[in-house]
Amino acid sequence: MTDRALVVVRPGALTTVQDRGRPGHAHLGVPRSGALDAPAAALMNRLVGNPPGAAVLETTLDGCDLRPRSAVTVAVGGAPCPVSVNGRPAPWGAPVHVPAGALLSVGKAVSGVRTYVAVSGGVAVDPVLGSRSTDLLSGLGPPPLTAGTVLPLGRPDGTHARVDVVPQPSPPTELVLRVTPGPRDDWFTAAALRTFTTRTYRVSASSNRIGLRTEGPALERAVDGELPSEGMVLGAIQVPPDGRPVIFLADHPTTGGYPVIAVVHPKDLPATAQATPGTPVHFTFVSGRNDRF
Amino acid sequence: MRALPVGDRALLVEVSSDEEAQALHAELLRRRAAGSLRVREIVPAARTVLLDGLDEPGRLAAQLSDARLPPVPPPAKDAVEIPVRYDGPDLADVAERWGVSPREVARIHAAAAFRVAFCGFAPGFGYLTGLPARYAVPRHATPRTAVPAGSVGLAGPYTGVYPRSSPGGWRLIGTTDAVLWDHTREPAALLSPGTPVRFVPVDPLPVAPFPVDS
């Protein structure tokens, strides 16, 4: 068969289609979604000659197995893992040729959480509001992959340069997150703000694409009562009633009613996508609103 | 009006009422349409409007602190009419809280001119204002695990329609066949912030088994 498609043989724990998401619809209650480790997804696209917004697969901890129906070039990166084609070892973080009908195995992550698989031509499921991303909060986009799912592939257009090697950051052994205080830091006691920036939190196993949950000392509120729901940004650190900070990731709700103590700098977010449960987390305030990095 | 920084690229503009939030939202949309405001997302909520994806949030914050809000402009379009059967499982409960008959709940609700204050919770879920403040009702202490799509509910000052089946704690007074969200449709959302809305009763208004006063 020559049709351009990818058959899912083993979906892994959670594998979704992701691109750069669907920003611009938050006022309708539509989360942005998109690859959590966006730089890794963009790099894998470059390796196979795709435009940066092509849809890739995002795996979670234990990879996935795929069988393309036509010959394709793939690149596997993000969380490091073993890669093989028909049982023969293949390179991670580099373009790999996969013949039609061969089995591409993306193994368990040796570190980090999310491995990205870019395929030449990109995954070509129908877009929803301009994006092919699976949104686990609202259910928009294709459902998580299951065994037997057949994913259509686009045609490589040949206008994007393929590269052979790209440097990739290692998954973090600790997260040091630069955060800007507010907008609701005044809902917390001075002691809570000190605790937030001086004590160590750890990544909770209940983290997902919606939020990175933490375990650690509870943050005490200075203000009781309810905050009327307000708009939320990517990287907002919301503090629910249990006092443990939650960092909002790509599938976060567009509005929320718990106070946001601070916001993570966008450049520090990709690392949060690769932090395994138990990873230490430190929050560091950067001064005022006019800082630029 | 107070503009709070949210990270490096966003502002949360806080006002003191629903009406001011709607006026601010309308004004920000006007500025964006006129080309004087460049921003990726304008997200209204109960007492705030979030502006996300700004190049110079500090400059806009300074501008807004001096700005005077024009009143909410009249709706630019006709009201979206949502046909509703006032047959919800909480209709009798709401009638008791309002101190009227279930039939009167339907009449009062269908007579109100609503407006979508903001969206959230799920794609296409609008928080509609328009009922007089005395008709505010609390959410259920324990949410239902599954509220059917098309359920029309009340919570606090808001009316909402569930775009799809989901857990929910709103007090359900009716049901509609209107499709609130369809991503294959343009626009996908029937209701967006600022949209005027009316609920149109599908006859007959409820009689038995509810007690009816004439």
Q: Is the Cβ–Cβ distance between A241 and A220 less than 8 Å?
A: no
Structural domains of chain A, ranges and CATH numbers in brackets: 5-152 (no CATH), 175-285 (2.40.100.10)
* Residue A273 in this model has a pLDDT that exceeds 90: yes
Which pLDDT belongs to residue A290? 44
Which pLDDT belongs to residue A1? 45
ipTM of the complex model: 0.92
The better pLDDT of the pair B68, B135 is held by: B135
Confidence of residue B209 (pLDDT cuts 50, 70, 90): low
Within the 113-142 window of chain A, which residues sit less than 8 Å (CB to CB) from chain B? 128-129, 138-140
Longest dimension (CA), chain A: 66
pLDDT digits (tens, 9 = 90+) for A113-170: 999 999 999 999 999 999 999 999 999 999 999 999 999 999 998 777 778 778 899 9
Cβ-Cβ contacts under 8 Å, A178 against chain B: none
Cβ-Cβ contacts under 8 Å, A269 against chain B: none
* Residue A228 in this model has a pLDDT that exceeds 80: yes
Which pLDDT belongs to residue B69? 84
Which pLDDT belongs to residue A244? 96
Structural domains of chain B, ranges and CATH numbers in brackets: 2-66 (3.30.1360.40), 80-201 (2.40.100.10)
Which pLDDT belongs to residue B204? 62
- Residue in chain B closest to A285 (alpha carbons) equals B7
* Residue A289 in this model has a pLDDT that exceeds 50: no
pLDDT digits (tens, 9 = 90+) for B128-142: 999 999 999 999 999
pLDDT digits (tens, 9 = 90+) for B4-13: 999 999 999 9
Q: Is the Cβ–Cβ distance between A81 and A109 less than 8 Å?
A: yes
Mutate to test the interface with B, among A230, A234, A263 (most CBs of B within 10 A): A230
DSSP A107-120: ---SSSS-EEEEET
Partner residue opposite A289 with nearest CB, options B8, B119, B123: B8
Which pLDDT belongs to residue B72? 80
- State chain A's mean pLDDT as an integer: 94
Which pLDDT belongs to residue A138? 94
* Residue B214 in this model has a pLDDT that exceeds 70: no
pLDDT digits (tens, 9 = 90+) for B143-190: 999 999 999 999 999 999 999 999 999 999 999 999 999 999 999 999
A112 Cβ under 8 Å from any chain B Cβ: no
Confidence of residue B75 (pLDDT cuts 50, 70, 90): confident
A178 Cβ under 8 Å from any chain B Cβ: no
Within the 232-291 window of chain A, which residues sit less than 8 Å (CB to CB) from chain B? 232-233, 235-236, 253-255, 260, 263-266, 288-291
Which pLDDT belongs to residue A165? 77
- Residue in chain A closest to B61 (alpha carbons) equals A289
For A43-82, strand residue ranges (E) read 56-58, 64-68, 72-78
Summarize the confidence of residues A21-38 as an average pLDDT: 97
In angstroms, what CA-CA distances link A156 with A4, A50, A66?
Answer: 10, 7, 19
Summarize the confidence of residues A27-43 as an average pLDDT: 97
Which pLDDT belongs to residue B63? 87
pLDDT digits (tens, 9 = 90+) for A163-211: 877 889 999 999 999 999 999 999 999 999 999 999 999 999 999 999 9
Cβ-Cβ contacts under 8 Å, B49 against chain A: 231
Cβ-Cβ contacts under 8 Å, B193 against chain A: 27
Cβ-Cβ contacts under 8 Å, B189 against chain A: 28-29
Confidence of residue A292 (pLDDT cuts 50, 70, 90): very low
The better pLDDT of the pair A162, A64 is held by: A64
- State chain B's mean pLDDT as an integer: 92
Return the minimum-mean-pLDDT range out of A158-167, A219-228, B87-96, B189-198: A158-167
Q: Which one-letter DSSP state was computed for residue A183? A: S
